[in-house]
Amino acid sequence: MAQYHADSRKIFLKEKKGLIALTLILIGVFFFLPVTQAFAYNKASAVVVLDADSGEVLYSENGDMPMEIASTTKVLTAITVIEHADIFMRAAIPAAAVGIEGSSIYLREGEKWRVLDLLYGLMLRSGNDAAVALAIITSGNLPAFVELMNKTAEKAGARNSRFTNPHGLHEEGHKCTATDLAKITAYALKCPIFAEIVKTKTHRAIKTVDDKEENVVFYNKNKLLYSYPYAIGVKTGYTKHSGRCLVSAAEKDGRKLVCVTLNVYDTYGVSKSMFDKYFGASVSDHAEIS
């Protein structure tokens, strides 16, 4: 009987050790996947770091793979509007810009906005309705504006991308590479108006509704501006097709870097790590800022 209990104990301990080993393996697989691994209709992740002044690509992971980029599309939308519209004019909101799905600044037909304020709504709040309104105000219709977008992208050095709308919602054929998006962002940041918009945390605007003025306040969704001391923008993005996306910029000691992360779950963490790597700093050295 004693031998029976001893054998049973050995079997139990062996099975327990096996279970522990299996658990550790599963934990390892879960926690030590590549930091850029994510799950979305985009079948891969991409990360690119670009020197904004020289145009040199400092780091690239799948940088030349065309992917869905969600609302980071609005970087191109914004610079296209700035280059082709009178940003200080007041314009009436067209019916076609009302009720666009996704992120919104809740535009209503006929209310009047300054184009510049719509740009803040586009970049700080990621308004899809603002994107459509700006496109129509600038070019008269969406197809004409999309054509302008693609010309602007080409001018910025983007060669492997194609844009079909101004907001980045899923649409067949609307894809951009991380490298091209970094180039577009570096190009846009050379424009002082664009650079000022994307680094702004809070913007106060006035819209006119039935000849009455109403105040509007926009708060920037980009958490990097609040958590990384060198951040100067730029734009967040997410759809179920793209996964989490972020195009960001930071400046330290006169050096300006652009980081693009597409379909990256910890997009803020990866972006900070990349900036610190090429700035030669440590993420742990940074305190939360406001």
Please identify every residue annotated as catalytic.
Answer: 71, 74, 126
* 165 conformational bin, left if phi > 0, alpha if psi -120 to 50, beta if neither: beta
Q: What angle do CA 177, 137, 109 make, to 5 degrees?
A: 110
Q: Which two tokens stand for residue 144?
A: 């004409």
66, burial (CB in 10 Å: exposed 0-12, middle 13-18, buried 19+): middle
Report the distance separating Cα 16 and Cα 10, nearest Å.
10
